[in-house]
Structure 1
Amino acid sequence: MRTIRHIVDTRAAEQPEKAYLIAPETGRTLNYGKLRRDARRLAAFLDAKGVRPGETVCLMMHNGYQAADLFLGIMYAGRVVSPINLLAQPAQLEYVLDHSDARLVFVAEAYRERLEAALARLDRPVAVEAIDVDAEALFPELAEGGSLPAVGEDDAALLMYTSGTTGRPKGALLTHRNVVAGGRFTSDAHELTESDRVLCSLPLYHINGQIVTTVAPLVHGGSVVMPHKFSVSSFWELLARHQCTWFNVVPTIVAYLLNEPDQRVARRELDLSRVRFGRSASAALPPNLHQAFERTFGFGIIETMGLTETAAPVFSNPLDPAKRKYGTPGRPFGVEAKIVDREGRALPPGEIGEILVRGDNVMKAYYKDPQNTAKALDADGWFHTGDLGYRDADGFYFVTGRLKELIIKGGENIAPREIDEALYRHPAVLEAAAVGIPDANYGQEILACVVLKPGSRCSEDELRGFCLNELGRYKTPKVIRFVDSIPKGPSGKVQRLKLLEI
């Protein structure tokens, strides 16, 4: 039975005292037995609050003991969990609370004022329950739920709103089958077992943090170390202290770790012998950044790719370092994939088209949005990712950009990622992202935004000359703008269209 309840019950029966989660700020450990007891008490609490099975419960909080406990417990109890992006602007927050049909919101005190301001603008009541993310128990006075509602594989479990760059966010509705499949595909791709422990660096309001570092350990019976947030200064120390065997990051974190000289020295004094690999997802990992990290720290990084609509994993590089490739998220794992042209015809290796995927992890629908659901999911179950790419002769997929972000200059298609990667090769560049801008002569020209490494100096003319050598005149950015930061979503994925607002 592929439901969160079945897996929690199985783990609690087989290994009740085994640690599932470690909260480093307090030192508290949540074992599998308590995870089930907490979930059953939560079911009783939701019954008492009048939240019926299948209704939506939102979470608005940073990572921690109760964030994970509630995230899994809500699904266990037969309700739909919908974590809220803490970076959401007021209008977006109001929209998600309304559109999701939320009946109850669990909120950490730090975000309560923002939440209540948004709820005040709704025309229906939504219950609020303020909690301490570090608390060991929320409802100690309640008995474990007596009669739990039936939960099936095709019942809704998770409602995740995409962090799109334009328009209103879409709510990807994922079933228990989808959520469990995402955790299973992650576990199988990396051959994870009960002895594995992951350091969670990403927020639980993003699909990566939810599936890869919260659901996957549950599926393979491992454990997760979950600090409140990522910190460069504590990253290596947490890995060593808690004897983690792998870590989950995004390219931005890779860049921060690589460009923090003090941490390079500090980690040499730590015992990191149990660490087997790192995993990167949510945005493309530039090959030069990838290779520099591996050379500097001695840990291999497995580049992967996932989507909100696919409960995270789609592609993964092999576990065997000798079989990995740089610049690609790897081969399909657990899913089928293909490249198609604008008419939907499958393309051979080497030809660029849209990437489509199909599998047990693909969402049920966009919530209350049949029009966009029909555009994204065809009659045969193929999900249109909106990503452009190609596959090579070995079956590895390469992502060249987004359909909506493709730069068309004088009729020629230019992938923004090609510009990004050229700029990343300059020794002074920490981050870079390109986007198309209107041009009277070519239709579009190229704007590149660049963040320099601390202490580095570089002029626009120097970077333009570098690009001329790397890219040629036609693909060299017309405008290079130095900025303090690149706009990103919660996963670290660059939001290119927001570059136009800088």
Structure 2
Amino acid sequence: MILSQTTPPKGTVRDWLDARAQQGGTAFVFPETNEALSWAELRDTAKTLAQGLTAQRVEKGESLAIIHPNGKDGVVALYAALYGGFRATMINLAAGPDAIAYALNHSGARFALVHEAQRETFKSVAPGHMRALNDSRGEAALHDLAPKDHALLMYTSGTTGKPKGVVHSHASLLAGGWTTAIAHALAPQDRGFCVLPIYHINGLCVTVMGALVSGGSLAMASKFSTSKFWDQADSAKVTWFSVVPTIISHLLHGKAEPSATLKSNLRFGRSASSALAVETHTAFETRFGVPIIETMGLTETAAQILSNPLAPNKRKIGSPGKAFGNEVRILNADLTEAKLGTEGEIAVRGPNTLLEYLHNPDATAATFAGQWLRTGDLGRMDEDGYVFVTGRLKELIIKGGENIAPREIDEALYAHPDVVEAAAFARPCDSYGERVEAAVSLSNGSSLAMEDLRVICVNKLGAFKAPDTIHLLDELPKGPSGKIQRLKLVDLV
């Protein structure tokens, strides 16, 4: 199958994996173990496991829990679920026992594919009726598949309530890889680097589906390592990578450097999942000479909705870019389209949007305004179609009746070179309703005082918006992708 620049992929994941197997070539390499998977081997292994699962009476479209870290076994488990026509239910291994138990119960899964290292976790949290089917054997005929059939179930982080189960079809899952591929001009000769967990939408759609749709290959690490990242990327001969702002910041403050060979091979690095501070973005490119393409995506949109273009097209630092493969608009409070330059809620329409929230029709209805999916993010669009994100509706700090976007304060904190992680948040207050606080982590050996950092914020933002208190932490709480979980800070500190 050939990647179209204008039309979303047709067919199912099974169709595309069959096509890649016929085409031949390497699909995955794993730098930590020196293992590799060709497209043909991946298809054959996934098909065999899918047939075994079907023989064990796993029904078409039913949830099949996948409890795996990144690695060869995890990739095979994912593709077996997708190839067999089951709803691949990706379990967030970093979520903790309660959240894992909730996802397993809510998904309705009867069966699970469990990595050896996760067997104790599975035993401790799995419902009594659930069985692990790792050694399934048999050659039952596979279920028929169509593009609209359920393919993926992935749970949101649940920072403002119970996690929601996002359901994607084969069509929307493939479209998620396609939006990445056309934005970054991915080609068969490209090799991405995946250090984000594939139980997160960025790792699964941007890198795994991006490679499937583009016909390229992927290097995959079990997890991100500041000290090993550049060497792993070099040994795997990658041409691009996808990370999040906290990883970019940790690399910037680390000692390791990319080799000259790697820098000559690297076309770009990609940042997503949360806003990348302008100062961090600029400092990274200055130090390493690797261009960073800022993007934006959601679990509900199979990852990417916005991306900056590649050179020589115009890139705007501080913006996650413009729409590729879908349409984006800004909505007023009454859900009408906002004028250019006016702040409102970012909404998206396209082939990559979710089918539904599992068992939650009210949430499904509330997230759509007609055909437009409401992201919950605030932003404005300029005359060139570039979106500038100003915050999240649920994260706005309302002090004395005035809306304060936490990102403004984050940017001021990141302006100091010793700040590795930063996040502003609201604290209930009798006088103003909410007051501004922040938390930071600093580079090793830094003697920066929190009051000095607060003075910087006062000078940049004024006393009203500056944090009343800045808390120093060893590390800020993060979700599976490395995105800082701002709403957890008020309880943590």
TM-score under structure 1 normalisation? 0.94
Aligned equivalents of 2:204, 2:16: Cα separation in 1: 16
TM-superposed CA distance for 1:321, in Å, is 5.3
Partner of 2:131: 127
How many residues are matched? Answer: 483
| Aligned counterpart for 1:299 among listed residues 284, 290, 298 | 290
Contact 1:239 1:272 in 2 (8 A): no
| Aligned counterpart for 1:78 among listed residues 60, 78, 85 | 85
Amino acid at match of 1:102: A
Aligned equivalents of 2:388, 2:110: Cα separation in 1: 42
SS at match of 1:238: helix
Contact 2:263 2:289 in 1 (8 A): no
Amino acid at match of 2:32: E
Partner of 2:18: 9
Where do 1:131-142 residues align within 5 Å?
Answer: none
TM-superposed CA distance for 1:41, in Å, is 0.6
Partner of 2:243: 249
Aligned equivalents of 1:89, 1:242: Cα separation in 2: 32
Contact 2:234 2:259 in 1 (8 A): no
Q: Which runs of 4+ in 1 moved over 4 A?
A: none
| Aligned counterpart for 1:397 among listed residues 387, 391, 397 | 387
Work out whether 1:97 is the aligned partner of 2:104: yes
Q: Deviations over 1:62-113 (max 9, x none)?
A: 1001111211221111111011101122221111101101121111222211
Partner of 2:205: 211
Contact 2:71 2:220 in 1 (8 A): yes
Alpha-carbon distance change, 349 to 269 in structure 1, aligned in 2, over 3 angstroms: closer
SS at match of 2:366: helix
Partner of 2:351: 360
Work out whether 1:189 is the aligned partner of 2:183: yes
Contact 1:340 1:347 in 2 (8 A): yes
Q: Deviations over 1:354-376 (max 9, x none)?
A: 11111100000000101111101
Contact 1:339 1:354 in 2 (8 A): yes
Contact 1:300 1:321 in 2 (8 A): no
Q: Deviations over 1:394-423 (max 9, x none)?
A: 211011111111011111111000000001
SS at match of 1:102: coil
The more displaced of 392-401 and 155-164 is 392-401
Q: Deviations over 1:343-364 (max 9, x none)?
A: 1111111111111111100000
SS at match of 1:284: coil
Aligned equivalents of 2:209, 2:52: Cα separation in 1: 23
Please provide the CA RMSD for this pair: 1.4
Aligned equivalents of 2:192, 2:294: Cα separation in 1: 16
Where do 1:123-202 residues align within 5 Å?
Answer: 124-129=128-133, 145=139, 147-202=141-196
Contact 2:178 2:210 in 1 (8 A): yes
Amino acid at match of 1:279: R
Where do 1:91-490 residues align within 5 Å?
Answer: 91-119=98-126, 122=127, 124-129=128-133, 145=139, 147-261=141-255, 263-264=256-257, 267-268=258-259, 271-320=262-311, 323-378=314-369, 380-490=370-480
TM-superposed CA distance for 1:44, in Å, is 1.6
Aligned equivalents of 1:223, 1:110: Cα separation in 2: 26
SS at match of 2:88: strand
Q: Deviations over 1:201-249 (max 9, x none)?
A: 1001100000111111011110001121111222111222121111111
Amino acid at match of 1:212: V
Contact 2:418 2:446 in 1 (8 A): yes
Q: Deviations over 1:421-452 (max 9, x none)?
A: 00100122111100111111211110111111
Contact 2:54 2:84 in 1 (8 A): no
TM-superposed CA distance for 1:464, in Å, is 1.6
Partner of 1:135: none
SS at match of 1:117: helix
Amino acid at match of 1:471: L
Partner of 1:26: 33
TM-superposed CA distance for 1:42, in Å, is 1.4
Amino acid at match of 1:343: D
SS at match of 1:273: helix
TM-superposed CA distance for 1:271, in Å, is 4.3
Aligned equivalents of 1:79, 1:449: Cα separation in 2: 42
TM-superposed CA distance for 1:282, in Å, is 0.9
TM-superposed CA distance for 1:268, in Å, is 3.8
Partner of 2:3: none
TM-score under structure 2 normalisation? 0.95
SS at match of 1:468: helix
Aligned equivalents of 1:227, 1:23: Cα separation in 2: 6
Aligned equivalents of 2:169, 2:446: Cα separation in 1: 48
Amino acid at match of 1:9: D
Aligned equivalents of 1:28, 1:479: Cα separation in 2: 49
Work out whether 1:46 is the aligned partner of 2:53: yes
Contact 2:331 2:338 in 1 (8 A): yes
Contact 2:82 2:151 in 1 (8 A): yes
SS at match of 1:232: coil
Aligned equivalents of 1:115, 1:36: Cα separation in 2: 27
SS at match of 1:233: coil
SS at match of 1:178: helix
